[in-house]
Amino acid sequence: MYLPRLRSLREDHDLTQAKVAALLGIDQRVYSTYETGKRDIPLPHLVTLADYYHVTTDYLLGRDHNEKKKTPERM
């Protein structure tokens, strides 16, 4: 699955693929395959990146165009 937002978020945060790969505990070459869609990103890595960038997993997957996480309203 190709996730173009991975690259744009990484670049917006002035990060290299190597730095993001280190955050995930993987090799840069593996991370590169996530950005290009040659390999599906595992769910734990997807969640880690969503948390790191403060976006939803749906945003990363292209299912939502709203970049920001929604915070639960207090009752």
Q: Is residue 35 part of a domain?
A: yes
Tracing tokens 């690259």 back to the chain, one arrives at 7
Q: Is residue 74 part of a domain?
A: no
For 2-29, how does the pLDDT look when each residue is reduced to its tens digit (9 = 90+)?
788 999 999 999 999 999 999 999 999 9
What pLDDT, on a 0 to 100 scale, did the predictor assign at position 69? 60
- Whichever domain contains 13, its CATH number is 1.10.260.40
Cα distance between residue 12 and residue 55, in whole Å: 13
Taking residue 44's Cβ as centre, other Cβ atoms within 10 Å add up to: 9
Predicted TM-score of the model (pTM): 0.84
pLDDT band at residue 71 using 50, 70 and 90 as cut-offs: low
- Decide: 4 and 59 in contact? Cβ < 8 Å: no
pLDDT band at residue 67 using 50, 70 and 90 as cut-offs: low
> What average pLDDT does the structure give for the chain?
89
Q: Is residue 66 part of a domain?
A: no
For the cut 60, the answer to whether the pLDDT of residue 75 exceeds it is: no
